[in-house]
């Protein structure tokens, strides 16, 4: 799946948590950034890695997450 399509789909699905504070509970916003273990780079496919990056970037913009590692 194209990264732009994933990002657009995710942004549409999560747009509610940016506009409604009560929606943040029980949504992606309450989870926080996805941080994988050191061996994940060998186990995950490229598409899975891109999906996690897309989720983290959307979480930064929509939910106000800090980038992992900062």
What is the per-residue pLDDT for 15? 56
Q: How far is CA 38 from the centre of its chain?
A: 19
Percent of the chain clearing pLDDT 90 (strictly above): 10
Q: Residue 67: helix, strand or coil by DSSP?
A: coil
Q: Band of the pLDDT at 22, cuts 50, 70, 90? A: very low
| Structural element, H or E, at residue 41 | helix 40-43
Domain assignment of residue 35, given as a range: 3-62
Flag whether 7 is in a domain: yes
What is the per-residue pLDDT for 68? 65
Can you read off the two tokens belonging to residue 29? 């916003």
Q: Band of the pLDDT at 47, cuts 50, 70, 90? A: very high
Flag whether 70 is in a domain: no
Mean pLDDT score of the chain: 74
Flag whether 50 is in a domain: yes
* Number of independent structural domains in the chain: 1
Can you read off the two tokens belonging to residue 40? 């994940």
Flag whether 44 is in a domain: yes
What is the per-residue pLDDT for 8? 59
Q: Rounded to a whole number, what is the largest CA-CA distance in the chain?
A: 38
**Beta carbons of 55 and 17 less than 8 angstroms apart:** no
């Amino acid at each position: 799946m194209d990264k732009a399509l994933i990002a657009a789909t995710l942004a549409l699905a999560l747009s509610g948590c940016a506009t409604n504070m009560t929606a943040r509970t029980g949504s992606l916003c309450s989870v926080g950034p996805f941080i994988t273990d050191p061996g994940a780079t060998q186990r995950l496919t490229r598409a899975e890695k891109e999906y996690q990056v897309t989720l983290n970037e959307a979480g930064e913009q929509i939910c106000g997450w800090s980038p992992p590692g900062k």
